[in-house]
A and B are shown apart, each in its own frame.
Chain A
């Protein structure tokens, strides 16, 4: 693992949505959609993000793409902190002060690693004001660069393409704006991109309603692809397609990955798709990561009771096969008021007293296998 390059690093990502009420729109509570989530995505791999509805999978995807502003935490792309890129100037400055300047002034520089170390050297070299202006300069170029690094493919093929503009415009508007392609090359490049995803190039003058669901999803891929991104977040990208089309689109995604050296964050609730496509799987429950492991390890030896229960729910297409299913009782608690301690404890078959009091940290049990449980592997 260690020789691979980290493409994206999420550190302690938190996203709360306010619930407002009353005349003055006072905030009365927070929906804790994503609560302190950290993981890394290496270059060229496919990370599957699974969990049931409402556990914060999509919120993570949207926050990564900065369609939502994170409440706190860091999103590091390559060797740059991108968290402040889309904040207004003063907010960004405040963020830099809080995250870096305070740390640099108060903590031991010897302990800094990775990005902190890099930024500390920059800070020492340029001084405080120089450090600010270095980080905040060329923010437009940085934003553009960020958009070129990361793209998203959405779930619903029927609402993810604007029904009133032609495919050519849909696919080319982003790349033209970021000068990935020149205006004079639009037709050739759009044609090439469409043909790459299996759509006839001449169909670029059509409107979205003239295509089927699978074709639209391919157009969505072409739109993301033409930006030449490194990472594509596929937010339930095949969930709305029927099974035969689904496998075609998945195979297309795998082909494109090889060809363009893409990295995928594949968000899904469908474990069989995840099993097919991912290199590593991150399992979420109620806004937290419960388990993060290479696919093989996770599917053969899940350690968290929740993961285990999920695995036992995968349907096996064999009528003679009898297997023990772990049936979880109760519903997912509300993310507004999550349970104390381990969030899974009210439904966990092996919960003990400590589980309701102490929150289990995400520990690396084997190299590359992280579990957040007090008693990993205890559910048989």
Chain B
């Protein structure tokens, strides 16, 4: 097993796009971990009784540093510039944490539900399969953005509500994927042997079937992690997601709506308002996609 692991790792690090993916991901992870050092959660506008800048109650709410809502170009104090009185660097840095939070929670939860539903459907087959797959079809037939909007109208807006919506409408692809894999594996002789030994169904699923079917799902989950952040950003852009001032790439783009077209005669006057949150998002998605590709290359025996 050890030699195999070594071989896998060597293969992984011979592939330039895999290296790029993992480096980008590492970079984002470092930014997320060291966010308080890169952009301290303080507001220099309001000194406390000792004269030090005030600590923020909630570091995810970007401090308002200026009363002018117009964009301020990058300067030494604000290297990414400012918009709506908020530092763009601060938003991008703390937005990395938000992105990870959204991605990991939503992907973990929706993959979990998808695996449960898909494996029950695939393993037991028959009418159980039929019923569960028709429910899956119903969920798939609803356009996601519409469903998320309706759901946030019911639940109220907010990042947690958006995440709930994304979980509720995000498990279907996983369920279908795992079901298809299970249909393939459950006729394997080692599964039949386990049945002949009288092993309980849930142990057969957990020990014999899932470990042999889970990898495509992990790859898909990795790829989905990136794109989910875009979806969340889209919802935030529409005003359904994070509350005003929340450090989230989508909400940051929301501020730029009035400045996207630039000033008259200068199309690129406010480029920094779109560029920095946008590039963060693009690189984040790219990182996960490259990592997903690399994992697929490693786990898929057909591509070996």
Residues of A within 8 A of B (CB): 25, 62, 65, 67, 143-144, 146-147, 150-152, 154-156, 159-165, 169-170, 173-174, 177-178, 207, 220, 223, 227
Contact = CB atoms under 8 A, between A and B. Distances in A.
A65 B208 CA distance: 19
9 shortest interchain CB distances as A-B pairs: A174-B197, A147-B198, A160-B189, A154-B189, A162-B190, A164-B211, A159-B189, A65-B196, A152-B196
Interface string B65-95: 0000000000000000000000000000000
Given A143-B198, A177-B197, A164 B188 contact: no
Nearest to B212: A164
B198 A155 contact: no
Given A62-B192, A174-B197, A177-B198, 17 more contacts: A67-B192, A144-B198, A147-B197, A151-B197, A154-B189, A154-B192, A155-B189, A164-B212, A169-B207, A170-B190, A173-B199, A173-B203, A177-B197, A177-B199, A178-B197, A207-B1, A227-B197
Measured as residues with beta carbon below 8 angstroms from the partner, the interface class of chain B is 10 to 19
Contacts of A207: 1
Nearest to A162: B190
22 contacts: A25-B130, A65-B196, A67-B196, A144-B198, A147-B197, A147-B198, A150-B196, A152-B192, A152-B193, A152-B196, A154-B193, A162-B207, A164-B211, A164-B212, A165-B208, A169-B207, A173-B197, A174-B197, A177-B200, A178-B198, A220-B193, A223-B193
Contacts, number: 64
Interface majority SS (helix, strand, loop, mixed), chain B: helix
B7 interface: no
Contacts of B196: 65, 67, 147, 150-152
Contacts of B208: 162, 165
Interface of B: 1, 130, 188-190, 192-200, 203, 207-208, 211-212
Nearest to A62: B192
Contacts of A144: 198
A55 to B, nearest CB: 20
A67 B195 contact: yes
Given A67-B192, A207-B1, A223 B212 contact: no
Contacts of A151: 196-197
Most B C-beta atoms less than 10 A away, residue of A25, A156, A159, A207: A159
